[in-house]
Amino acid sequence: MKLDITFTMIKPDAVAEGNAGAILKMIEAADFKVLALKLTRLTPGQAAKFYEVHKGKPFYESLCEYMSSGKIIAMILSKKDAVKEYRQLIGATDPAKAETGTIRKLYARSIQANAVHGSDSDENAEIEANFFFSSLEYFN
Ligand code: CMP
């Protein structure tokens, strides 16, 4: 059965700059339900594991350093077609290419410090959600 969930992180730049509330407001205004939410900080090892798929890319080391540089907010969101809908709400990875009105257009600082993460597939949404939360948490 398709879960219709996506996983997101509000990244260290956005949390540190006090943009988490505004971003959460946009998420709720777009009719996503927050199923789980956690304010936490990744260790460099956890960041390396979470972004393992990017290992070997030129930005990998710097990304892991940045993602463990401050607090993040991890969330599981639900909505019909959650992955696709959320990627539309956040906009392109590179804020210079993100559409007007998207979260990244409004709050991202750079292609790396791009305010939020969003899962790229249903399969990865589940893997990423389970990285931060026990599966029971998001059905309660
Ligand atoms: P995210 O959606 O979390 O998925 C992978 C992350 O890698 C991406 O957002 C950016 O933070 C980062 N990233 C992707 N491409 C680049 C790049 N060319 N240079 C630096 N960071 C990148």
CATH number (domain holding residue 14): 3.30.70.141
The position carrying tokens 């257009």 is 105
State the CB neighbour count (10 A cutoff) for residue 72: 26
Q: Which of 9, 49, 52, 59 to mutate to test the pocket of ligand 1 (most atoms within 8 A of CB)?
A: 59
Q: Which residue has the higher pLDDT, 140 or 23?
A: 23
Q: What domain count does the chain have?
A: 1
Q: Is the pLDDT of residue 19 over 70?
A: yes
Pocket of ligand 1 (CB under 6 A): 54, 59, 63, 93, 111-112, 114, 117
pLDDT at 1 (0 to 100): 64
| pTM of this structure | 0.96
pLDDT at 140 (0 to 100): 60
Nearest 5°: the CA angle 58, 113, 48 is 50
pLDDT at 135 (0 to 100): 79
Q: Is the pLDDT of residue 47 over 80?
A: yes
The rounded Å distance from CA 30 to ligand 1 centre is: 24
Average pLDDT over residues 53-59: 97
Domain that holds residue 89: 5-139
Nearest to 66 by CA among 47, 38, 50, 52: 47
The rounded Å distance from CA 62 to ligand 1 centre is: 10
Q: Is the pLDDT of residue 70 over 90?
A: yes
| pLDDT one-digit tens code per residue, 81-113 | 999 999 999 999 999 999 999 999 999 999 999
The rounded Å distance from CA 59 to ligand 1 centre is: 7
Average pLDDT over residues 42-46: 98
pLDDT at 64 (0 to 100): 98
Residues classed as catalytic: 117
Alpha helices in 41-118 (DSSP H): 44-50, 60-67, 82-90, 103-107
